Amino acid sequence: MSIKCLIVDDEPLAINVIKNYLQQIEGYELIKTFSNAVDALNFLKTASVDVIFLDINMPVLDGLNFIKSLKNPPILIITTAYDEFAVETYELDVLDYLLKPIEFSRLMQALNKVERRLNSNNKDIANTSLSKSRPHLFIKIDKKKMKKIYLDEILIIECLKDYLKIYTTNGKHIIHSTLSDFTELLPEKDFIRIHRSYTIALNKIDVVEGNSIEIEGMRYTIGRSYLEKAKKKILTKTA
């Protein structure tokens, strides 16, 4: 089952950017695009979608009032050139706020949030395809290429200044990101940061000894400021 999307934006170029991005990603279906919020509002009276990519500055009905007009809003992602509306939109339960020009990697971060939200909402529905799918992320491994990695294959994420080295059961990948930002994308129940340089998968730990853990024969030290919380969570997870 695909994730149904709607784009509402009065800039044709902005619509095309998101449209082209979505076409490259499995599991997403662009249902319709609108250049004004009034037409989108009328469409939603008889149709439903999972995600709306929404501009703010539009004629007749702006994005914020459009959101307030929705009785049962789907997941909302703002796409705008202006940052001053961020606080107000989060008060309206907007999932993410993307500033134009939108990069593919930034859109992928938003879509990872979408999948986590949908999986969370549907976790008790046995027949949903989303709950049965393997959780994954797309990472940018070069200027044009995005690679899917499954969360259950991640072993360790190591910080290398402005880059990360992601160790998986199928190899290593280097990406441009901070450890804090990447760790936030991971489910807290399955991963934990143990050091300013390491985030690890809890179920991949083979040995816990003193202030260190071992994964696949490699030993990693738990930072002093992380020690108490990390050991408690590790031992609870593995008990």
Which one-letter amino acid corresponds to residue 224?
R
Q: Is the pTM of this model over 0.85?
A: no
Whether 84 and 168 map to the same domain: the answer is no
98 φ, ψ (degrees, to nearest 5):
-105, 130
**Structural domain for 82, as ranges:** 3-129
Instruction: Tell me the pLDDT of the chain (239 aa) as tens digits.
Output: 589 999 999 999 999 999 999 998 888 999 999 999 999 999 999 999 999 999 999 999 999 999 999 988 999 999 999 988 888 887 888 999 999 999 999 999 999 888 888 765 543 333 333 344 678 888 877 666 778 888 999 999 999 877 889 999 989 988 888 888 888 888 889 999 999 999 999 999 999 999 999 999 999 999 999 999 998 888 886 54
What per-residue confidence (pLDDT) applies to 90? 76
Whether 125 and 153 map to the same domain: the answer is no
Q: Output the domain CATH number for residue 184.
A: 2.40.50.1020
What per-residue confidence (pLDDT) applies to 17? 96
Q: How far is CA 28 from CA 89, 115, 143, 180, 201, in A?
A: 24, 11, 22, 27, 28
Question: Could you tell me if residue 42 is inside a domain?
Answer: yes
Question: Could you tell me if residue 143 is inside a domain?
Answer: no
Whether 14 and 124 map to the same domain: the answer is yes
Q: Which of 97, 129, 161 is the last residue of a domain?
A: 129
Question: Could you tell me if residue 230 is inside a domain?
Answer: yes
Whether 106 and 154 map to the same domain: the answer is no
Question: Could you tell me if residue 49 is inside a domain?
Answer: yes
Whether 124 and 176 map to the same domain: the answer is no
Whether 64 and 111 map to the same domain: the answer is yes
Q: What is the total count of domains within the chain?
A: 2
Whether 87 and 167 map to the same domain: the answer is no
Whether 116 and 15 map to the same domain: the answer is yes
Question: Could you tell me if residue 173 is inside a domain?
Answer: yes
Residue corresponding to tokens 């050091």 = 195
What per-residue confidence (pLDDT) applies to 195? 94
Spatial CB neighbours of 123, under 8 Å, sequence gap ≥ 6: 131
Q: Which of 129, 160, 180 is the last residue of a domain?
A: 129
